[in-house]
Amino acid sequence: MIRIVALTETGHRLAERLACLLELQLRKQLKLQLENQEAVPETFDQVQLMFKPKAFASEVQSAFQRGDTLVFICAMGIVFRTLAPVLHDKKTDPPVVVLDERGQFVIPVLSGHEGGANELARKLAQLLGAQLVLTTANAYLKPVYTVGMGCERHCPESELRKLLDQCLAQAKLSIEQIESVSSIDLKADEVGLIGLAKTLDKPFLTWQPDQLRTVEDQLSTRSDYVYNTVGVYGVAESAALYAAQNNRGEQAELLLTKQKTQKATCAIARSYLISVHEHSEAANQNQEQT
């Protein structure tokens, strides 16, 4: 559940607009999952407005403790004072995002990286045409995106490309942002995958099962059938994750979980690569401020 909390009439108008935009995007995502025959979670995200809720602190704290995603349109101080008594841990607390009343700035304030607030804030900023304000450490890191794919033997390149294009659109990425296409080593001679990578001018990387098993705890789903067949619980997600973190020292995360057609699967992972130039600039700015 995504709850949008507004305390003023101006904020309420923005909340209504944002709710419509989010619901439209969620319906598009649901339609795409159904078309791809992807299982839809029973608790598919819904959007609900909370305008000047009575017993404000109690209502908001209860929603937070239930694990609801909270989007506030109000002063940040109100958010912190209200949630302070129920904060627990960044690994388990739900994401919290704050917007100003004019919808000019979107700021992830709690559970930014691990909880998904950063990614939610990016999505909201894109929907509203607003400025994203990141304050986490990863604001000084450059994202690296990798694609993982699996497929039946002799799956045509055209089907693989169609699935990849759908995944990129869903993740709001362009092919230029993708670093590589990866799969399991059993697919090293798969003509469709080789051709796709060549067409896109991207490296085609394959990994051994023991390498892919190192990221199995991060998979969104596990298939015993796939494990019994190729030695890993999921090819697309495992390959994307392993490629993203390989030689980077940063743990990767799934940006887009496995999407599938009748013959192929695709997932997108992300890690962060520090930019020496940006790091130096940030360090200089910090020194100037101190």
Q: Say what the pLDDT of residue 253 is.
A: 85
In three-state secondary structure terms, 6 is: strand
Domain 141-274 class in CATH: alpha beta
Q: Say what the pLDDT of residue 115 is.
A: 63
In three-state secondary structure terms, 55 is: coil
| CA quadruple 105, 111, 114, 117: dihedral sign | negative
Yes or no: say if 69 and 93 are a contact pair by the CB < 8 Å rule.
no
Alpha-helical runs (H) found in 4-109 = 9-35, 56-66, 76-83
How far is C-alpha 99 from the geometric centre of its chain's CA atoms? 20
Q: State the span(s) of the chain assigned CATH 3.30.420.180.
A: 141-274
Q: What mean pLDDT is reported for the chain?
A: 84
Q: Say what the pLDDT of residue 181 is.
A: 97
**Span 128-159, pLDDT tens digits:** 888 888 776 555 667 889 999 999 999 999 99
In three-state secondary structure terms, 187 is: helix
Fold of 2-135: Rossmann fold (3.40.50)
Q: Say what the pLDDT of residue 280 is.
A: 39
The angle at the Cα of 212, spanning 210 to 217, to the nearest 5 degrees, equals 110
The mean pLDDT of 4-14, rounded to a whole number, is: 94
Q: Say what the pLDDT of residue 243 is.
A: 94
The mean pLDDT of 68-85, rounded to a whole number, is: 92
* Cα(77)–Cα(82) distance, integer angstroms: 8
Q: Say what the pLDDT of residue 42 is.
A: 42
In which band, very low, low, confident or very high, does the pLDDT at 283 lie, cut at 50, 70 and 90?
very low
* Cα(26)–Cα(46) distance, integer angstroms: 8
Please report, for residues 66, 79, 175, 193, 243, the alpha-carbon distance to residue 145 in angstroms, rounded to integers and kept in the order given: 32, 32, 10, 18, 9
> What's the DSSP call for residue 38?
P
* Cα(246)–Cα(180) distance, integer angstroms: 12
Q: State the span(s) of the chain assigned CATH 3.40.50.11220.
A: 2-135
Rg, Å, the chain Cα set = 21
**Span 12-57, pLDDT tens digits:** 999 999 999 888 877 776 676 666 665 544 444 588 899 998 889 9
Q: Say what the pLDDT of residue 259 is.
A: 96
pLDDT at residue 218 greater than cutoff 80 = yes
pTM, two decimal places: 0.53
In which band, very low, low, confident or very high, does the pLDDT at 256 lie, cut at 50, 70 and 90?
very high
pLDDT at residue 110 greater than cutoff 90 = no
Quickly count: other Cβ atoms within 10 Å of residue 188's Cβ: 13
